Amino acid sequence: MIRRTGLEGEYAHWMAIAAMEQFGWLIASRGVECVSLLHRPEELEVFLPYIPLRECDPLPHTWAVTSDTIAAWVAHVLGLELIILKSVEGLVEGGELQERVTGAIETKVVDPCFISFVLGNKVKTTIMNGKVPERLDSFLRGYPVTGTTIGF
């Protein structure tokens, strides 16, 4: 929706982050607590990014940065592993699912800044299909699953 406005830079950046925050409130309506404090959670929480990013905003204000790289930044700051749930199995290159990516690849699955940010900041990352709920459950239990690991 915000992309359709034709805005770029500052205005588009803050409108997109405000939209992320609105989506967070939608998730919260399912009974998950919302927080604006950037901290290691002890239980499931929805992070509302607007205020923390207004206080410390190290990312470029461009469409090359989306919620993917913002999530990677949060994981980096908190020293957490990152799981990105998408509607695809993982990253594909040359028509083949990549189990592990250790360098830049061209993809539309994540934003253009994501892979270089994750690799450059050594954020342990896994991308998997969020439309297969048992996959996330298996991953969290330590079982191997279909998906893409970045780095490591």
Ordered DSSP codes for 24-71:
HHHHHTTT-EEE-S-S--SS-EEE--HHHHHH---S-SSTT--HHHHH
Q: Side chain identity at 33, as an amino acid letter?
A: E
Q: What is the pTM of this model?
A: 0.91
pLDDT of res. 4: 84
Kindly give the confidence (pLDDT) of every residue in the chain, 152 residues in length, as a single tens digit, with 9 standing for 90 and above: 777 887 788 899 999 999 999 999 999 999 999 999 999 999 999 999 999 999 998 999 999 999 999 999 999 999 999 999 999 999 999 999 999 999 999 999 999 999 999 999 999 999 999 999 899 999 999 999 999 999 87
